[in-house]
Amino acid sequence: MNNVKKISAAVAESEAQAVFVTSEQNRYYATSFASSAGELIICGDGHAALFIDARYFEEASRSITEVEVVCSNGKPVYELMNDYFKAHNVTKLAVEEGSLSYAAYTALQKKLEPEFVPGTGLFRDLRAVKSAEEMDILVKAQRIAEAAYQNTMALMRPDMTEKELAAELTCQMLELGAQDKSFDPIVVSGSLSSVPHGKSRDVVLQKGFLTLDFGALYQGYCSDTTRTVCIGEPTEEMVKVYDTVLLAQTEAIRAAKPGMTGKELDGVARKVIADAGYGDYFSHSLSHGVGIDIHEFPNCAPRSETVLKAGHVISMEPGIYLPGRFGVRIEDVIELTEDGCFDLTDLPKELSVYFA
């Protein structure tokens, strides 16, 4: 998968003549080549060049298409880049100001001749709308994670610790073909389930709710899923909270469509939870974008004016967290389609009880 032409077309419509790609994630989005180094330039005239050292030169030359791969061979890379800018009449250069530190930004300004203009938004908007090829990868990442979850739950024992269960979930994803985990799994039980991003502990699984938030990384793209189950029989209040969260997610997924703002979609789930009397305990936004990064644009939050578009891929994860007692979160990932949405997630959502 190569997005150089798509990026070049976006540059041509901007005030810059080229974009300087500095983040690993955006270099990967452009070329599908993963590396910790490399200076990628994509011009609005269709030309592109990757300046890279000898460690990656052979593999990059073999793997990347539509990009000239230049080995610096010890030469000052910024001199080579400035020569390239002159050859392609680049006087304004879009840079990823959002991913550069102030020190790095000012250092680059001293080394490169073109005038800098903002370029973060260019990648944000392009990456937010997923292609059919990207969707195939995202679905595959989701299926790997789901199979790993089902295998892990079948192996779960009451004497396992939270850390052991998290490790088993990670191992299962790797064995099923993930290149890595999307993030460190959140596996928390008992009263710690009230902490949305709690850290797994070296303690035996506690009675009450058990939250598992996990994802697989596959071909550079992330999946993201949360399921909450119960260790031992739940109380009547626990069932009420679980059913409220599930209804909030169900209503939000049913309502999701292009043209809504993030605030409007967040409000659908938030109203269900508030009407049930738990409005003060939904402490985060409904969703975030999912793709090369586990958290990317767009998001659906109480103040988000972002207009959702077909091709946006977002999580749907309402939650209720009663401090010191218990918490529930249920998370799917959906793709916005022309007339609604498609739920990528294929795992049961009824409340499961273990070791009752």
Q: Where are the domains of the chain?
A: 4-128, 132-354
Percent of the chain with pLDDT over 70: 100
Q: What is the pLDDT of residues 160-213, one digit of tens each?
A: 999 999 999 999 999 999 999 999 999 999 999 999 999 999 999 999 999 999
pLDDT at residue 73, rounded to an integer:
78
Tokens standing for residue 301: 């939050």
Just give the CATH number of 4-128.
3.40.350.10
CB atoms within 10 A of CB 346: 11
**DSSP three-state, residue 46:** coil
* Residues β-bridged to residue 261: 307
Strand ranges in 182-295 using DSSP code E only, listed in sequence order = 186-189, 208-214, 216-218, 221-222, 225-231, 287-289
Q: Render pLDDT for 229-269 as a digit per residue (tens, 0 to 9).
A: 999 999 999 999 999 999 999 999 999 999 999 999 999 99
pLDDT in tens, 116-165: 999 999 999 999 999 999 999 999 999 999 999 999 999 999 999 999 99
pLDDT of residue 251: 98
- Mean pLDDT over 58-70 rounds to 93
* Averaged pLDDT for residues 26-51: 95
DSSP for 60-80 reads HHHH--SSEEEE-TTS-HHHH
Q: Which of 355, 91, 128, 77 is nearest to 262 (CA)?
A: 128
Tokens 């949360």 sit at which residue?
226
Place of tokens 């011009």: 43
Q: How many CB atoms lie within 10 A of CB 328?
A: 26
**What does the alpha-carbon distance between residue 10 and residue 291 come to, in Å, rounded to a whole number?**
20
- Confidence band, pLDDT 50/70/90 cuts, at residue 23: very high
- Spatial contact of 211 and 186, defined as CB atoms under 8 Å apart: yes
Under CATH, domain 132-354 is a member of which superfamily? Creatinase/methionine aminopeptidase superfamily (3.90.230.10)
Decide if 208 contacts 324 (C-beta within 8 A). no
Residue 122 has phi, psi (to 5 degrees) of: -60, -50
Residue with tokens 């967040």: 266
- Where does the pLDDT of residue 113 fall: very low under 50, low under 70, confident under 90, or very high at 90 and above? very high
Q: Where are the beta strands (DSSP E) in the chain?
A: 18-21, 39-43, 48-52, 68-71, 92-95, 115-118, 180-181, 186-189, 208-214, 216-218, 221-222, 225-231, 287-289, 296-300, 313-316, 319-322, 326-329, 332-337, 340-343, 353-354
